[in-house]
Amino acid sequence: MKRTRIRPDIHIFPADYQPLIDGAAVYDSSCSPEARVWFIDKDGGYYLKSAPQGTLAAEAAMTRFFHTKGLAAEVLDHRSTDRDWLLTARVPGEDCTHAAYLDDPKRLCELTATLLRELHESDTAACPISDHTAHYLARAEQNYHNGWYDTSLFPDNWGYTSAEEAWEVVRTHGHELHADTLLHGDYCLPNIMLDNWRFSGFIDLGNGGIGDRHVDLFWGAWTLVFNLKTEAYCDRFWDAYGRDRVDRDMLKIVAACEVFG
């Protein structure tokens, strides 16, 4: 996880957060232009995330839910004012893009597959996002009609030659996606925390909910290709997860949805 030591202007934070930040070592840990993330090195560590108004409610709710299962950090505060703010305790260890994990790709791919299978076998009762699939398909439709289409992040074997080709798959087969499994929603190596190879928690849960397992399976394989710069470990990932639970036709439907963001 990237951390850059900074000296932030303390006045940009809500007043009651300022004593927490005052006198602490603060690091910028942001990884997207949409949100700012700070690591506050104090009392065991905190993460503070700020994003446009109304955008962190799902992440706060899903993080709280995952925390009840021992799968995520404790949410210490969430508020929505002119911006959204989310304060959580630190999850021990480093994410799976740390060199210590990337240097042992076989072990990493088998561990991430096993963790995903265990997550997908979790009880979904009381999950605050009860139909991830409906939101997922609605977002694909909206983005298609808004002209958003991007295959740049995907390996060629998942790509589509045009937005119309991908949309036809979503339109005719999207209803085949289930809503019966607890998902992370963005199951990528930067969002899986390990402490000396021991699982310590998931982060960035804003896309989670009860949906189709193939969304996480798609991203679980994609992240190995992207972060390891090779497709050599995908078969090992499918084997470790359990090929009996993987339908490649469903993965193609997910890929069609994902090109619309």
Active-site annotation, residues: 186
Residue-by-residue DSSP string for 137-197: HHHHHHHHHTT----TTS-GGG--SSHHHHHHHHHHHGGG----EEE-SS--GGGEEEETT
CA angle 25, 30, 33 (to 5 degrees): 145
Sheet holding 94-95, edge to edge: 94-95, 192-195, 198-202
Residue 227, CB half-sphere, CA atoms under 13 Å: how many? 24
Among 104, 71, 79, CA closest to 15? 79
Tell me how far apart the alpha carbons of residues 67 and 88 are, in angstroms, rounded to a whole number.
11
Report the C-alpha gap between 194 and 200 in whole angstroms.
Answer: 5
| H or E element in which residue 251 lies | helix 248-258
- Total number of residues shown for the chain: 261
In 3-state terms the chain splits into helix, strand, coil percentages (rounded to 5) of 45, 20, 35
Per-residue DSSP letter, 77: E
